Amino acid sequence: MTNRLTLILLLLANLAGTSAVAETSLRHTPNWSEADALAAIGSVDTAAETAKLNQLAGSGDSAALLEKAAAIHENDQWPAPAREFVLFNLARSLADFPPGQIDTEVPAYLASLPVDVRIVHPDHPGFAVPMFNVAAAATGAAVEWERQAASLEASELIRYGQQGWLDAYIQATPVQRNGFRRSVATYADPELTGLAELALDQAEAHPGLAVIATMAGLRLGNSWLFTRSLTWNEDAGLAEMLRLSREVFQPKDLQKVLVNAVQLAPTSTASLVIAELAPTLLDQPRVEDLMFELLGDRDLGASAALALSQSQATRVRSRLATVAGEDSGIAARRAGLALSSTGGAR
């Protein structure tokens, strides 16, 4: 279980990271068919050029690699699809090398290249997408290098003190923070506990630190850390962390997570916690009562109604019917909507 959680946390660490998005320009029309482009690639020896580029990259000879990439881009004896195919493979492979082995000028050059081969957009016929988005792949490699470098820095910083680690995290870019979070998943339990507790102590002033405690709570099976962190954690990966918490914590602990979030967390976070946890906890009287109490709440009532709508328990449906028939207030209307839902337990 611990190994599985570590792997999942490594994935969660990436959720808020910067990634290169493939260009889907609707400003251009296609200038190649996919079949013709593939035929053009096959008309020249792309394998030999790819092998040369890989050899130069592996040797770390950035100057020669940059020169070779430029020569391929400017080779007008080759059709455009073949040139972009080779350079795309190079750009994509750069992320496999450790940061510092290849100069950043290489991905910067590749990221500056225009798109020459556009094929039909799969969802918008008549518009185009790049067949080989060299620029996006190169940008992605540069981002991965920054992320890896930050992860290595974090692993070194934690050896010298938790406060220095947190100070560096606060100052880091979003990509670098992603690397720091990757590093967190590998720390020993006492080290991680101390870091998470210190992060919580400073989360009111620096809410971005709260996600460290959330991840630590999951890795350590520490529901106290996890619960407290939700007061400040509004990270993009929170929904996935909440889903994972259902596998990590016992129902009695999840009830505390839910109640605490309703009482202390921002509305957006509390709504998310209700959506992810409440439907599977409605067999607990405290949770059922809380959801009914919230039906009249301006901010959380709709989330509570949605959670209740997913129960097919006779007791819950009967209570909803009673509330719905009481008056025409907001709680009654929400109870009626919950009843009208087809529901279905998760």
> For the chain, what percent of residues have pLDDT higher than 70?
91
Going from the C-alpha of 45 to that of each of 51, 79, 102, the distances in angstroms are 11, 12, 25
Classify residue 284 by its DSSP letter: S
Please give the angle made by the CA atoms of 208, 186 and 191, to the nearest 5 degrees: 70
- The structure's pTM equals 0.80
Write a three-state SS string for the chain. CHHHHHHHHHHHHCCCCCCCCCCCCCCCCCCCCHHHHHHHHHCCCHHHHHHHHHHHHHHCCHHHHHHHHHHHHCCCCCCHHHHHHHHHHHHHHHHHCCCCCCCCHHHHHHHCCCCCCEEECCCCCCCEEECCCHHHHHHHHHHHHHHHHHHHHHHHHCCCCHHHHHHHHHHCCHHHHHHHHHHHCCCCHHHHHHHHHHHHHCCCCCHHHHHHHHHHHHHHCCHHHHHHHCCCCCCCCHHHHHHHHHHHCCHHHHHHHHHHHHHHCCHHHHHHHHHHHHHHCCCCHHHHHHHHHHCCCCCCHHHHHHHHHCCCCHHHHHHHHHHHCCCCCHHHHHHHHHHHCCCCCC
Q: What is the pLDDT of residues 6-43, one digit of tens each?
A: 655 665 666 544 443 444 444 678 888 899 999 999 99
> What is the structure's pLDDT at 237?
87
Instruction: Give CA–CA dist 102/11, Å, rounded.
Output: 26
Residue in this structure with the two tokens 């991965």, named with its chain if needed: 144
Instruction: Give CA–CA dist 138/88, Å, rounded.
Output: 8
If one compares 342 and 169, the residue with the highest pLDDT of the two is: 169
If one compares 341 and 61, the residue with the highest pLDDT of the two is: 61
Please give the angle made by the CA atoms of 140, 166 and 181, to the nearest 5 degrees: 35
Q: What is the pLDDT of residues 267-298, one digit of tens each?
A: 999 999 999 999 999 999 999 999 999 999 99
pLDDT band at 1 (very low <50, low <70, confident <90, very high): low
> What is the structure's pLDDT at 141?
95
Average pLDDT in the chain: 90
- The answer on pLDDT for 117 being more than 70 is yes
User: Can you list the positions of beta strands (E) in the chain?
Assistant: 118-120, 128-130
> What is the structure's pLDDT at 344?
44
Q: Which residues are paired to 118 by β-bridges?
A: 130
CA atoms within 13 A on the CB side of 47: 2
Q: What is the DSSP string of 160-174?
A: T-HHHHHHHHHHS-H
Q: What is the pLDDT of residues 159-198, one digit of tens each?
A: 999 999 999 999 999 999 999 999 998 899 999 999 999 9
- The answer on pLDDT for 214 being more than 90 is yes
- The answer on pLDDT for 54 being more than 80 is yes
